[in-house]
Amino acid sequence: MVDLKQRALGRFFEGGVAMLVAALLVLGLATAVSPEALAQGAQDSLREVAPESPTGGTVPGQSLGFNSDSEIWRAVREGAFGAVSGPNKASGNLIQSEGDNWRAIRNGPLLVYGGSLVLGFIGLTALFFLFRGRIRIDAGPSGRTMLRFNGIERFAHWMTAVSFIILALTGLNLLYGKEVLIPLLGKEAFATISGWGKIAHNYLAFPFMFGVVMMFVLWVAHNIPNRHDIKWLLIGGGLFVKNVHPPARKFNAGQKLIFWSVILGGLSLGLSGWALLFPFTTTFFADTFAVLNVFGLGLPTDLTLMHEMQLNQLWHGIVGFIMMGVIVGHIYIGTLGMEGAFAAVGSGHVDVNWAREHHSLWVEEHEDFMDPAPDAEGPGRAQPAE
| Minimum distance, C-beta of residue 351 to ligand HEM, in the bound complex (Å) | 11
| Minimum distance, C-beta of residue 275 to ligand HEM, in the bound complex (Å) | 20
Nearest Cα to Cα of residue 175 among 327, 323, 317, 325: 317
- By CB under 6 A, tell whether 148 contacts ligand HEM: yes
Nearest Cα to Cα of residue 90 among 101, 100, 79, 103: 79
Please, which residue, 164 or 190, has the CB nearer to ligand HEM?
A: 164
SS3 135: strand
C-alpha distances in Å from residue 96, one per residue of 90, 101, 314: 10, 10, 17
Q: How far apart are CA 143 and CA 141, in angstroms?
A: 6
* Closest residue to bound ligand HEM by CB: 334
| Minimum distance, C-beta of residue 263 to ligand HEM, in the bound complex (Å) | 8
Candidate residues 255, 268, 282, 312; the one interacting with ligand HEM per rule CB under 6 A: 255
Candidate residues 117, 139, 306, 345; the one interacting with ligand HEM per rule CB under 6 A: 345
Element (H, E) at 304: none
Contacts 24+ apart (CB under 8 A), 47-56: 48/81, 48/82, 48/83, 49/75, 49/76, 49/80, 49/81, 49/82, 50/74, 50/75, 50/80
| Residues 256-295 within binding reach of ligand HEM (CB under 6 A) | 258-259, 262
- Beta-sheet pairing, 145-147 with 349-351: antiparallel
Q: Which stretch binds ligand HEM (CB under 6 A): 121-129, 157-165, 286-294, 296-304?
A: 157-165
Q: Which residues contact 66 (CB under 8 A, 6 or more apart)?
A: 35, 36, 38, 39, 42, 59
- By CB under 6 A, tell whether 341 contacts ligand HEM: yes
- By CB under 6 A, tell whether 160 contacts ligand HEM: yes
- By CB under 6 A, tell whether 334 contacts ligand HEM: yes
Q: Supply the DSSP string of 181-198, one letter for each residue.
A: HHHHH-HHHHHHHHHHHH
- By CB under 6 A, tell whether 335 contacts ligand HEM: yes
Candidate residues 161, 172, 269, 319; the one interacting with ligand HEM per rule CB under 6 A: 161
SS3 338: strand
Candidate residues 105, 306, 314, 331; the one interacting with ligand HEM per rule CB under 6 A: 331
Q: Compute how many other C-beta atoms are within 10 angstroms of the C-beta atom of residue 235.
A: 13
Please, which residue, 66 or 256, has the CB nearer to ligand HEM?
A: 256
Q: What is the residue type of 315? A: W
- By CB under 6 A, tell whether 249 contacts ligand HEM: no
Candidate residues 164, 232, 285, 321; the one interacting with ligand HEM per rule CB under 6 A: 164
Beta strands in 128-181 (DSSP E): 145-147
Please, which residue, 73 or 259, has the CB nearer to ligand HEM?
A: 259
Terminal Cα-to-Cα distance of the chain (whole angstroms): 137
Q: Which stretch binds ligand HEM (CB under 6 A): 64-72, 156-164, 295-303, 371-379?
A: 156-164
- Decide if 232 contacts 253 (C-beta within 8 A): yes
Please, which residue, 72 or 341, has the CB nearer to ligand HEM?
A: 341
| Minimum distance, C-beta of residue 236 to ligand HEM, in the bound complex (Å) | 16
Q: Which stretch binds ligand HEM (CB under 6 A): 224-232, 301-309, 312-320, 339-347?
A: 339-347
Indicate the Cα dihedral angle 326, 162, 338, 258, nearest 10°.
Answer: 30
Candidate residues 39, 137, 215, 303; the one interacting with ligand HEM per rule CB under 6 A: 215
Please, which residue, 185 or 263, has the CB nearer to ligand HEM?
A: 263
- By CB under 6 A, tell whether 165 contacts ligand HEM: yes
Residues that bind ligand HEM (CB under 6 A): 148, 157, 160-161, 164-165, 215, 251, 255, 258-259, 262, 327, 330-331, 334-335, 341-342, 344-345
